[in-house]
């Protein structure tokens, strides 16, 4: 039994050393983005991107917690407006605040996660005219402290998890914008 605990101690020590050493070489910056092509007037797309009240219609996390509590503070669609949410363990809680709004081009957002862990990120939306419609890109940049960068790298599939959520949200945004455009055309 003593040999087992000695062996287990050595394994744990080696695992901790591996994480600490590898954390020195793994990037601390994390960038993620996904894009979708939308065939709708730029005004329709922009309205759905630039207003937190519209975000609630295509928010990919509402499926994970339909009872999520949301509040909007300030003048929605303007710099300084804030969207706060509090949900179950799947969605956590936090606040998004508009830091820059450049009509029909981009939006910069300060993203402050409170639960399940405290962190900050810089989120963004970009919109560009393409031959097939408008390309909308949604992404964020964050910096992970050492050695959390190594733990995240080896223990979590951040890219895969975010891909599912962002792709789902962008697909909902596309559907919302294109159906809004079709309704406008019928008037």
Q: What is the pTM of this model?
A: 0.80
Residue 96 inside a domain? The answer is no
Q: Is residue 127 part of a domain?
A: yes
Q: Is residue 108 in some structural domain?
A: no
Domain of residue 152 covers 2-65+122-186
**Is the confidence at residue 187, as pLDDT, over 60?**
no
> CA-CA distance, 107 to 124, in Å (whole number)?
6
pLDDT score recorded for residue 63? 85
Angle, vertex CA 46, rays to CA 44 and CA 48, nearest 5? 70
Q: Is residue 91 part of a domain?
A: no
Give the total number of structural domains in the chain.
1
Kindly report, residue by residue over 8-61, the tens digit of the pLDDT: 777 777 777 666 666 666 667 778 899 999 999 999 999 999 999 999 899 998
pLDDT (tens digit per residue) in 75-119: 999 999 999 999 898 889 999 999 999 999 999 999 999 988 788
In a domain, 59, yes or no: yes
What pLDDT sits at residue 83?
95
If we measure between CA atoms, which residue out of 34, 45, 58, 43 comes closest to residue 178? 45
Kindly state whether residue 31 falls inside one of the protein's structural domains. Answer: yes
CATH number of the domain bearing residue 49: 3.30.530
Report if residue 71 sits inside a domain: no
Give residue 77's region: left, alpha or beta (phi > 0; psi -120 to 50).
left
The answer to whether position 51 is within a domain reads: yes
Helix/strand/coil (H, E, C) string of the chain? CHHHHHHHHHHHHHHHHHHHHHHCCCCCEEEEEEEEEECCCHHHHHHHHHCHHHHHHHCCCCCCCCCCEEEEECCCCCCCCEEEEECCCCCCEEEEEEEEEECCCEEEEEEEEEECCCEEEEEEEEEEEECCEEEEEEEEEEECCCCHHHHHHHHCCHHHHHHHHHHHHHHHHHHHHHHHHHHHHHC
């Amino acid at each position: 039994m003593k040999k087992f605990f000695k062996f287990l101690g050595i394994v744990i020590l080696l695992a901790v050393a591996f994480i600490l050493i590898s954390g020195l070489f793994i990037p601390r910056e994390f960038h993620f983005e996904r894009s979708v092509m939308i065939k709708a007037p730029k005004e329709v797309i922009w309205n759905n991107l630039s207003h937190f009240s519209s975000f609630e219609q295509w928010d990919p996390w509402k499926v994970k917690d339909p009872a999520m509590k949301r509040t909007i503070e300030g003048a929605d669609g303007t710099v300084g407006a804030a969207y706060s949410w509090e949900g179950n363990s799947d969605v956590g809680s936090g606040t998004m605040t508009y830091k820059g709004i450049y009509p029909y081009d981009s939006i910069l957002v300060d993203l402050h996660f409170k639960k399940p862990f405290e962190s900050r990120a810089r989120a963004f939306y970009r919109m560009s005219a393409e031959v097939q419609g408008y390309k909308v890109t949604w992404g964020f940049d964050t910096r992970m402290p050492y050695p959390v960068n190594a733990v995240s790298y080896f223990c979590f599939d951040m890219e895969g998890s975010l891909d599912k959520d962002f792709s789902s949200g962008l697909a909902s945004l596309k559907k919302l914008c294109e159906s809004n455009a079709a309704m406008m055309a019928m008037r």
